[in-house]
């Protein structure tokens, strides 16, 4: 609008002003009037100069308009400024002397109107700065409030439910719990969450977490063939499927190798064909033979070793070696090193000091009396022998040259009685027979007998005849004996028969020649 107004001012107003001055000059002087046309500058600013050449620069008035005003106000200000300028110019012209010569120049009233070409651009920039500042301020305030109202969410995966609750309450976060079975996460541990760890959420929001119920105890489980598994494999299977009701147990076994299956115990009411995770089952695997760690027995006594062996159910063999400086029954050596482990069924050998040794002699070179004085206990026994002459040594329990270390040590010596000799038992009572023949057998001779009864005038139960008597017998022989029934009266001057008429085929040892 202002642009149109200024355009009208450039043409119309100039003509009006020019006409006013011409009329004024005609009325006053009727002389020549020189009118200097206004020059329109290339800068598109319109300048209208009025007044004499002697008019000072102070008489010129520059009208500056407010660029922030709207178009209507801006137009009114221009009009008011022009009117005010014209009034001032009219007053100034009336005060000037009238032109009397043709050399005088009469100028139009002095006023300058400048058009601000950057007004709209500056106005747009100003409004843009204001709008941008307002938006930035609002955005900063929003970000500040939003930042104070939002908190970072930790990663609760794998943590306990209590940890999430402890964090949520003071931060104003509501916890919504969901549940599901899981083999990976223990009971009451968080499986997943609705907001990832490290993300942010507003206070008052809801954090949804999925909590593990643990393994489903009602789920059916296919039992493997434990006979084909080792102890470690069975434990791994149990842990992976969380079949915690299956107990893997170990025990010592002399028959089953270590880490191999022994047996399965099924409690009453459990069906192995429909086995659920909550059922109970006992599986036994072998630890191999039970072993025990051997301590050091060095310089300990035999009594100490025997006490340890009884307590640990171990078998210990003691051996002696002569030693002049180490007291008797003191441990000198052990065949298993201290710290090593052996099975309880194995034998531990301990070497003890025997002190000064006693050499076992060859008892064939000693008389019975000399043998009793060697310094150890000698037990003598007598047995019949087919080849070893009477009085000679058949055997001795400790070979000649053996070292003995105590008077308590014992040597058993067996002496020969030679071949068995059967005495004449006629006239003796039948009751003595058992003792006589037992003596043969107890001393190594297999001499047996049998009794038959016959009519005789000898007292009842008297031996009246024998198949063999008063002679040496082989190591195995059988004697036939006849005993009187005592059913006859004794004849005067009767003499007993020297022998019986026995069949040699009944007695192979009988020699009638």
pLDDT digits (tens, 9 = 90+) for 487-497: 888 766 655 55
pTM for this predicted structure: 0.38
Does the pLDDT at position 51 exceed 70? Answer: no
* Arithmetic mean of pLDDT, 357-375: 82
Q: What is the pLDDT of residue 329?
A: 87
Environment class of residue 190 by beta-carbon count within 10 Å: exposed (0-12), middle (13-18) or buried (19+)? buried
Does the pLDDT at position 71 exceed 80? Answer: no
pLDDT digits (tens, 9 = 90+) for 445-459: 999 999 999 999 999
Higher pLDDT pick, 40 / 122: 122
* Least confident residue range of 122-126, 372-376, 387-391: 372-376
| Res. 386 pLDDT band, cuts 50 70 90 | very high
| Res. 37 pLDDT band, cuts 50 70 90 | very low
Residue 271: DSSP 8-state: -
pLDDT digits (tens, 9 = 90+) for 106-138: 555 555 666 667 777 888 888 888 888 888 888
| Res. 228 pLDDT band, cuts 50 70 90 | very high
In angstroms, rounded to a whole number, what is the distance separating the alpha carbons of residues 154 and 266? 47
| Res. 73 pLDDT band, cuts 50 70 90 | low
In terms of DSSP H, where are the helices of 63-170?
A: 71-95, 119-149, 161-168
In angstroms, rounded to a whole number, what is the distance separating the alpha carbons of residues 181 and 148? 38
Token pair, residue 428, equals 């003796």
* Arithmetic mean of pLDDT, 410-421: 92
Q: What is the pLDDT of residue 359?
A: 83
pLDDT digits (tens, 9 = 90+) for 495-504: 555 544 444 4
Q: Please provide residue 409's backbone torsions phi and psi, each rounded to the nearest 5 degrees.
A: -65, 150
* Least confident residue range of 80-84, 202-206, 374-378, 447-451: 80-84
Does the pLDDT at position 187 exceed 90? Answer: no
Domains of the chain: 2-117 (no CATH), 153-212 (3.30.10.20), 226-286 (3.30.10), 291-353 (3.30.10.20), 358-416 (3.30.10.20), 422-513 (3.30.10.20)
| Res. 351 pLDDT band, cuts 50 70 90 | very high
CB neighbourhood size of 89 (10 A): 21
Does the pLDDT at position 388 exceed 50? Answer: yes
**Nearest alpha carbon to residue 464 among 498, 512, 439, 416:** 498
In angstroms, rounded to a whole number, what is the distance separating the alpha carbons of residues 286 and 415? 55
CB neighbourhood size of 396 (10 A): 21
Does the pLDDT at position 150 exceed 60? Answer: yes
| Res. 13 pLDDT band, cuts 50 70 90 | low
| Res. 369 pLDDT band, cuts 50 70 90 | confident
**Nearest alpha carbon to residue 452 among 435, 471, 433:** 433
CB of 21 closer than 8 Å to CB of 35? yes
Q: Please write down the HEC assignment for all residues of 372-407.
A: CCCCCEEEEEEECCCCCCCCCEEEECCCCCCEECCC
In angstroms, rounded to a whole number, what is the distance separating the alpha carbons of residues 499 and 11? 201
Separation of first and last alpha carbons in the chain? 186
Q: Which residue's entry shows tokens 């009336």?
A: 94
Give CA separation, 20 vs 84, 102, 154, in Å: 17, 18, 90
CB of 420 closer than 8 Å to CB of 475? yes
CB of 369 closer than 8 Å to CB of 383? no
- Most confident of the following: 8-12, 123-127, 188-192: 188-192
* Arithmetic mean of pLDDT, 33-38: 42
* Least confident residue range of 84-88, 255-259, 263-267, 356-360: 84-88
- Beta strands 410-416 and 393-396, pairing class: antiparallel
Token pair, residue 13, equals 């107003």
- Spell 136-163 as b/e; 16+ CB within 10 A means b: eeeeeeeeeeeeeeebebeebeebebee
Tell me what percent of the chain is helix, strand and coil, each rounded to the nearest 5.
25, 25, 45
Q: Which residue's entry shows tokens 């002569």?
A: 322
pLDDT digits (tens, 9 = 90+) for 258-317: 899 999 999 998 998 999 998 999 999 998 888 889 999 998 999 999 999 999 989 999
CB of 151 closer than 8 Å to CB of 185? no
| Average confidence score pLDDT of the chain | 79
CB of 299 closer than 8 Å to CB of 330? yes
- Beta strands 281-286 and 331-334, pairing class: unpaired
Q: What is the pLDDT of residue 3?
A: 44
* Arithmetic mean of pLDDT, 369-390: 87
Does the pLDDT at position 157 exceed 80? Answer: yes
Q: What is the pLDDT of residue 335?
A: 92
Does the pLDDT at position 469 exceed 90? Answer: yes
């Amino acid at each position: 609008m202002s642009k149109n107004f200024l355009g009208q001012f450039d043409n119309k107003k100039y003509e009006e002003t020019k006409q006013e001055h011409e009329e004024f000059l005609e009325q006053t002087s009727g002389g020549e009037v020189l009118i200097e046309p206004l020059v329109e500058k290339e800068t598109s600013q319109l300048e209208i100069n009025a007044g004499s050449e002697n008019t000072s620069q102070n008489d010129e008035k520059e009208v500056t308009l407010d660029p922030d005003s709207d178009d209507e106000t801006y137009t009114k200000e221009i009009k008011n400024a022009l009117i005010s300028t014209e009034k001032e110019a009219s007053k100034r012209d009336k005060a000037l002397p009238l032109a009397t010569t043709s050399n005088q120049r009469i100028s139009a009233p002095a006023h300058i109107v400048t058009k601000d070409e950057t007004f709209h651009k500056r106005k747009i920039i100003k409004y843009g700065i204001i709008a941008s500042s307002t938006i930035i301020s609002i955005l900063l305030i929003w970000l500040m409030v939003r930042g104070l109202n939002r908190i970072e969410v930790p990663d609760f995966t794998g943590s306990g439910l209590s940890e999430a609750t402890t964090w949520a309450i003071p931060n104003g976060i509501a916890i919504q719990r969901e549940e599901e079975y899981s083999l990976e996460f223990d009971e009451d541990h968080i499986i997943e969450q609705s907001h990832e760890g490290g993300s942010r959420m507003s206070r008052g929001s809801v954090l949804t977490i999925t909590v593990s119920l643990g393994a489903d105890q009602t789920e059916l489980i296919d039992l493997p063939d434990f006979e084909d598994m080792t102890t470690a494999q069975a434990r791994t299977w149990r842990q992976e499927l969380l079949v915690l009701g299956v107990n893997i147990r170990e025990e010592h076994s002399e028959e089953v190798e270590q880490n191999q299956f022994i047996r399965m115990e099924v409690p009453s009411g459990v069906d192995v064909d429909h086995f659920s995770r909550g059922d109970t089952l006992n599986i036994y695997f072998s630890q191999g033979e039970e072993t025990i760690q051997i301590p050091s027995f060095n310089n300990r006594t035999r009594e100490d070793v025997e006490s340890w062996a009884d307590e640990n159910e171990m078998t210990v063999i003691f051996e002696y070696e002569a030693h002049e400086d180490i007291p008797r029954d003191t441990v000198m050596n052990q065949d298993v090193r201290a710290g090593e482990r052996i099975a309880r069924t194995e034998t531990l050998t301990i070497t003890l000091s025997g002190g000064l040794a006693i050499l076992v002699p060859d008892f064939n070179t000693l008389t019975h009396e000399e043998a009793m004085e060697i310094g150890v206990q000698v037990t003598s026994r007598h047995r019949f022998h087919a080849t070893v002459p009477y009085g000679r040594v058949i055997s001795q329990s400790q070979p000649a040259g053996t070292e003995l270390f105590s008077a308590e040590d014992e040597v058993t010596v067996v002496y020969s009685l030679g071949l068995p000799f059967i005495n004449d038992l006629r006239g003796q009572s039948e009751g003595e027979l058992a003792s006589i023949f037992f003596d043969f057998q107890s001393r190594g001779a297999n001499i047996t007998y049998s009794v038959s009864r016959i009519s005789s005038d000898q007292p009842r139960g008297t031996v009246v005849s024998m198949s063999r008597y008063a002679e040496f017998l082989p190591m195995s022989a059988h004697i036939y004996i006849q005993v009187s029934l005592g059913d006859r009266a004794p004849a005067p001057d009767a003499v007993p028969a020297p022998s019986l008429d026995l069949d040699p085929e009944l007695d192979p040892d009988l020699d009638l020649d």
